Amino acid sequence: MAGFSVNDAVAKYLTTQMNFGQVMLLRGLFACILIGALATHRGALRPLRTLFVPAVTLRVCGEIGGSGLFLAAISYLPLGNVTAIVQSLPLAMTLGAVLLLGEPVGWRRWLAIAAGFIGVLIIVRPGADGFNLYSLLAVFSVAFYVMRELVTKRIPPEIPTLFIIFLTTIAVTAAGAVLVFPLGGWREPSLASTALLALAAVTTLIGYQCAILALRAGEISAVAPFRYSQMLYAMLFGYLVFAEVPDNAMLIGSTIIVLSGIYAFHRERIRNRLLATTAAATDAV
């Protein structure tokens, strides 16, 4: 989460010097080199036609939409606010799994989902003086990220995770190239900006690798709550780099999102244990 937060802070800083399409393009080029080299080393490369596997295509579209809208949002809003809204992703995923996949959810998790979205509304403040239309970009980015996460479960297991990340990075980089000129055109990056873009690519790769290792080593319900530490990093970087001081609405809303998300993970863990116990009892009979 620290790696992802460094990436976000660098991206927000660079949007003061170039449009976010150019940030997507240049950061993506560095990431493509790093991830492509790693995928080659691990023998994870597959034919590019893999991109046309429906689940892979949808995942790539979700990543493009989510990344683009997220970058647009942090260009105009405090980093902590946007990160807090995106932290509702696990709750939104649960809602999406219910509506699209028919997964059962008990009343306690429904309450957690409702509470989480109330937290988002407190941060966004629709109809209030502090409302900013760019907050909606962060909300829409969550919808794209939900699509990305849900279709990931349907990607054939024989396609390596690292290659999926590589394809996604190529697609996001290409989308950045398309957006550069409609968003204001190309600006020659300075040496310092180029170094920061390379740093963002490295920290993103570190973040992905650590996340994958953590999920392979531990239970999802135990690892997932640590994603909320990204909000603390975002507020820290927002204060140190951009002099952003969280207001009361942001603090209250983000607290509600975190607590409801952790509770939802807790209930899911209990549910999984009950299902495992029931399955073991059935097998014994």
Query: pLDDT per position in the chain (285 positions), as tens?
Result: 999 999 999 999 999 999 999 999 999 999 999 989 989 999 988 888 888 899 999 999 999 999 999 999 999 989 999 999 998 888 888 888 888 777 777 888 889 889 989 999 888 887 666 567 888 999 999 999 999 888 887 888 888 888 988 999 999 999 999 999 999 999 999 999 999 999 998 998 888 778 877 766 766 667 777 888 898 899 999 999 999 998 898 899 999 998 998 888 877 777 777 766 776 666 666
Query: What's the helix, strand, coil split of the chain in %, to 5?
Result: 80, 0, 20
Helix (H/G/I), strand (E/B), else coil: 155: coil
CA 94 to chain centre: 15
Residue 175: closest CA among 26, 74, 53: 26
pTM: 0.86
